[in-house]
Structure formats: C-alpha cells, structure tokens
Structure 1
C-alpha cells in the first residue's frame, strides 16, 4: 500500500541527534532544554551557537520530514522544555503534536524564511535566555554553507551575533530590530557569493572586515552529497503521495531542474571548478527542498484525513518510544499489551476500538513519561556551559 511505503520511507530516513561537545555535567539534577532544529545549515548554526552559550542539547531532524525516531530522541533527554528553531516547513508540525502529548513545553522560534527565523531566534535568545552578545556582528549570506561554518566559529570566539543576509537585507535595519550597537562588523563569504557580499559591504559602510572563504574540493563534494540526499528524499516522497495535477507538474519541473543542477555540479567538480560545483549544488538542494515541502505537506494532510494511516503512524511512533523507555528501566508491559490490541484493531479496521485504544495509550504514555523522565536523565550527560566548544 502507498501509505505503508510512505511510512517506511519516512521512518527510515536518517535521524541525527547531537550535543555540543564542550565538556559535560550530570543531567540528574539539572534543568534540561532541547533545541530542536532541522539540518538546514542556517537554522542548525543558530541552534549550535545557542547551545554553546547555554548548555542546551541540540537534536536535528531531516529537513521537512517527519521521523518518529527523532521524537524519541528528544524524549530520551527528559527535557523540561523544547525550543524549535525554524518554521513548519523545516520542522514539521507533527513533532509538536508528539511532544504536546507528553506535556512537554514547546515553543517555536521562526519566521517566514531563514532570515526572519534568524531575527526571531536572536530576539528570543536575548529576551528569554538572557544571552548578552558582545559588540560584534558577523554577517554571512544565508545560503552559503561554507561561509556559515566560518561565521559560527567567529561568533563563538567573540560572542558576536550572527546575521544571515541576502541581496535585499538591510543590515542596519536588522541591527536596529535586535538592538545591536556593534563596535565592529565582520562579513564572511565564499567567492561564490562575492557579488552579494560586495553589495552588503557597500550598503553598510567602510567599517567592515571581510573574511573570504575559499571553496575546497571537500566543501564542494559535501554540498554535492547533501543535494543528492535532498533529491533522493524528494523522489521517494513524490513516489508515495498523490499531488493534484497542477502541483504534480510543478514538483516534477522543480525536481528535474534540481537534477540538472546537480549534474552540472558533478561536471564542474570533475573539471576541478569547485566554486561552480558548490554553487550549483546549493541551487539543486534548494529546488529539491521545494519539492519536499510540497510532498510533505500533502503527506501530513492525507494522514490527518485517513484514520487508518493516522493510527499506523501513531503505532510506529509509540513502538519506538516504548523501546527507549524500556531501555531506561521503565516497565512498559501494560502499554505493550495495549499496542498489541491496537495493531489488531488496525488490521480489522475497527475504528471505534482504534480511537479508544489510542486514547488509552496516550494517557498511559503521558503518566509514565511524567513519573519516569528522571530515569532518562540518569543515563545522559549534558554539555557544560563553559563555552569551550569549537565547531
């Protein structure tokens, strides 16, 4: 069945859970904050930076994709609260549903794009986390992965604020919004983004230090590999959802464009034109993400409307959660029995039983998590807040 294929795809995609590795403290008697973010280079950089400043844990999900393994990863830290960085296109809303069912406090810091998300994250970090940034601003093109990494290292070193920019960004206005009064500004960019960097520097004035990032073969190949992964995800999602005809045509054209750009990137790489390979790969990734966004939204919509699909997704998610709860030392026998009954009810399409069993399982999971989340913390180590992490 299409739904089974889609579920297998989404559950099988890679989940990455990371903590900033700059020293560790016991989690047993410590408030735990998880910063939950997609593997988008801009949002992930913000998450890593804030984690470095606060000692929070970072958990990542593949961009635009729902994977219940990621919910289980967040759960495994027994967090007091979760901060999502990025919009629902990046970190899909189904994750909020999962975490809300466990009564975990969740807030989303985001905007309509990575630039507005940048402002929201910095503003909330200042107001809610009481982070004080030093008098330094690091400006970097928001889609320049290589430069973003260099900018992160610079920001960690000087406790500066990172601003993502594009051709239309008014840096002065952005600094006014976040109430930044820098004594200095650093503009970080690769040679691929030279034109945009020049315009930003011209707009701000003479007091700008430029850091030029040379695209190495490794950087270009990493960008190619990332775009390949995005295209593969887009293809699999499209194969397992049915889009309206017009949307299907648009998605097909965008996917074809992404493939052509990826091929151009490979050819440029073989010719040792690493800057071009890097730029083409970034473009391919962006177009593949457009397709993922369309297909993922359709998948989520269909799940909400299809009782059997919703129950099947719920069943897989609970099975994964029970494994980590049992591993931490909780007795999950009672819930496992309910899960077995739910599996039979789904096979029989007994929707009254499905509704009743899902309600029971939710209640049992909530109670077990509330009383047992301390067990998770006995088995984890949290990053120190000393700020010694180096990306």
Structure 2
C-alpha cells in the first residue's frame, strides 16, 4: 500500500540514501554508471536519470546474476555505480564484483517499485539540485504507458510518479509541491487513473490525461523480454535439475500461447493485459530460480568454481578489447580450467585468487585506456558521432 506508511518510509529512505551518498559523490568529471534490472518501472527511472545526468545505463535481467553485465560495467571504467532497485531485482553479487575493483556503489531502492521510484526522485533531487516543473503519473505495472510517461517527463522536465489503487496522490503532490500533472494511461490502467483523478480534487491540482495506445509490435516486445527471462530460468533449471522451475516455465509458455492467440485474433488490448501478467509471473519465477541457484552453488564446489571462471573470462575480455596485453592472465585461466576438469579444486582456488589479483592490478593500471574504449563503444552503440 502507498499511503501514510509510504511517506514515513520515503523520508527514511531519503535519510539513508543521503548518508550513504554524503559529500561530493557526483562531482563533475566523475564517471557514473546506473545499473538497473529490466523491470519496466525501474528501467524508465534509470533512463530518465541518465538523460538528466549523462550517466550510462546498464541493464540486467531481473533477479539474475550475469557475469557479462559486470564486465560491461567495467568496460566503462566508472568511478561509481548507482543501483536502482532492491537486491531481489539487482542481486548483491554485482555489488561484490564492483567493490573488488574499489568502485563506489550506491543502491537506491524501496520495498517495491513505487517506493523505489520516490527514493530515486528524492535522492536525485537533493544530490543534483534538480527542480521539477511538473509530474507525470502512471500506473507502476503498465509497462507501455510507462514508456510514454518517460518521453513526456523528458519533454516537461517532470518527475515520474508510479501509482496504484492505494496511492495517496494528493499527499504526494503536497510533499513535492507540484500542482500540474499529466496522467498517462492505457486500457489496462484506466481504473487506476480514475481513482487518481478523484484524489487530485483534494489538493486542487490540475491534471491532463494522455492515452497510450497499445500496438501489436509493443506487445511482441514484452513477449520477447519474457522469452529472455524464461531462457534464464531454464538455464538455472538445467543447472539445478529443478522440476519446480521447469513446471513454472511450462505454465508460462501456455500463457504465452494465449497471448499469441489474442494477437492473431486482433485483440491487442487483451493480449497486452495477459502480457503484463506474464511479466509479473516471470519475476516471481526468477525469484524462485535465484533461490535454487544459490542453494546449488553452496552445495556444488565445481559449479561455484565454473561460475568464478566464467566471471574471470568475461572481465579479462574487457581488457583485451581495450588493447591490453592479457596473455599472462589467459595462461592462468587455461591452468584453472585444467585443474577444474581434473577435480583439483584446491589448486583451482589458488589459481583463481592469483588471477583475480593480477586482473585487478592490471585494470587499475590501464583504467584510462579501458575508459576511452568504453566511451567510444557507448557512443557507437548510441548512434552518436
């Protein structure tokens, strides 16, 4: 629920965030990466903050650890990383990875996407001195309406506020001293916006409604995201031999077929509602998968070593792409692989420790070259010249 309890929690989060980020955390010239999950609500906030600050956004699958994500972050040689979202969305393994390189990490989050949104708004407003001209309000579980809200917020320099049926909107408007609002809705969130409109009468706020029309292509984009999430779950299911995860994947594949049937019948609105359900269920399944994965890693020494080796491989590749000589590291990696295959786990652990130490030293030594390569790659990816 988002009401009085949220207001109290919000200011608590603000104090925590400000304490962790005290001083000139975002001084001019500091390279910043924002790490966020593929949750539509959190990602939109991350993209908006990046638009305002020039930070680079890196995305991870919700609830999944991917060593390639850490490698991508390292490729930009950041001084600091802001994580948007809690440890269920963006797992703590990333924090561990980054702190090994002495990168400062901040996590801005709340108990859910609504509190996370407001915690980010408060921290960003204070740290960057951002003054918002208005607010764009959108249902926090309406993925496509959120994309429209993001575009409008950028145009109006407005804060994005996520709401649901329990949100006390008039109280939020009073807190942020904002009187002008744009309400973005799709067919899936009309009832939520009706409740918001009634609530606004209490604070004499002005509101404009914007309708986000859902297209077949947009639903297919959501389905592609769900497919990627299911692939991540299946990978963990195979790794852990989990029948529970396989059954959950099977159920979601059945729901995906219903979405496809609705699209083929031309009922895009129905397909979108079903797709939103799939998004939510996929996060629940990823949460279960993460629990299974951590249990498997604890009990299987070989699996743990293989994951560490995969992480090492990905990070060494970052240096190699930047033109750094990594031949010594690759020689050690080959020896680690041989030790794991031979079952010499104690030898593999010693070699891993040696390789990580050498890698961290080489990364610090060549950080400027890595940063230059990372910037060039980001500009090329973004279409800037």
CA RMSD of aligned residues (A): 2.4
- The yes-or-no answer on 1:201 pairing with 2:200 is no
Cα distance in 1 for residues equivalent to 2:45 and 2:183: 17
Structure 1 segment 248-259 matched on structure 2, within 5 A:
248=244, 254-255=248-249, 257-259=251-253
Displacement of 1:139 after TM fit? 0.7
Matches within 5 A, 1:332-371: 332-371=326-365
Q: Determine the structure 2 residue equivalent to 1:270.
A: 264
1:46 aligns to 2:42 (yes or no): no
Counterpart in 2 of 1:312? Answer: 306
> Secondary structure at the residue paired with 1:354?
helix
Deviation, 1:255, is 4.2
Contact 2:234–2:246, Cα closer than 8 Å, also in 1: no
Aligned mates of 1:186, 1:84 — CA distance in 2 = 27
Paired residues in the alignment total 349
CA distance in 2, matches of 1:236, 1:344: 24
Q: What is the alpha-carbon distance in structure 2 between the residues aligned to residue 218 and residue 227 of structure 1?
A: 14
Distance 1:298 1:131, change over 3 A: farther
Shift of 1:199: 1.0
Do residues 377 (structure 1) and 375 (structure 2) align? no
* 1:37-76 superposed matches below 5 A: 37-76=36-75
Give me the whole-angstrom Cα distance separating, in 1, the residues matched to 2:219 and 2:35: 27
Structure 2 residue corresponding to 1:165, chosen from 163, 171, 180: 163
Indicate if the aligned counterparts of 1:265 and 1:280 stay in contact, CA closer than 8 A.
yes
2:184 aligned residue: 188
Equivalent-residue separation in structure 1 for 2:34 and 2:111 (angstroms): 19
Q: What SS is found at the alignment partner of 1:88?
A: coil
CA distance in 1 between counterparts of 2:358 and 2:349 reads 14
Q: CA deviation at 1:299?
A: 0.6
Change in 2 beyond 3 A, CA 1:334/1:285: same
- Give CA-to-partner distance per residue, 1:86-137, whole Å, 9 cap, x none: 1222222222221122221111111222112112211221233x14132311
Structure 1: which 5+ runs fail to align? 1-28
TM-score by length of 2: 0.84
Matches within 5 A, 1:258-297: 258-297=252-291
Alignment pair present for 1:298 and 2:297: no
Q: CA deviation at 1:302?
A: 2.3
**What is aligned with 1:100?**
99
CA contact (8 A) 1:85 1:117 kept: yes
Cα drift, residue 253 of structure 1: 6.5
C-alpha spacing 1:339/1:259, structure 2 compared with 1 (3 Å) = closer
**Structure 1 residue 373, shift from structure 2 partner:** 1.0
Confirm or deny: 8 A CA contact 2:117 2:162 kept in the other structure: yes
SS in 1 for 2:347: helix
Higher helix share: 2
Q: Structure 1 residues 261, 166: closer, same or farther in 2, change over 3 A?
A: farther
- Measured after TM superposition, the shift of residue 146 of structure 1 is 1.3
Q: Which consecutive residues of structure 2, in runs of 5 or more, have no partner in the other structure?
A: 1-27
Higher relative contact order (CA 8 A, sep 6+): 1
1:35 corresponds in structure 2 to 34
The answer to whether the 8 A contact 2:77-2:374 is kept is no
Distance 1:41 1:162 in 2: 13
Give the secondary structure class of the aligned counterpart of 2:331: helix
Match of 1:115 in 2: 114
Asked whether the 8 Å contact 2:34–2:50 carries over to 1, the reply is: yes
**TM-score normalised over the length of structure 1:** 0.82
Which range moves more in the overlay, 319-328 or 337-346?
Answer: 337-346
Paired with 1:235 and 1:328, the residues of 2 have a C-alpha distance of 33
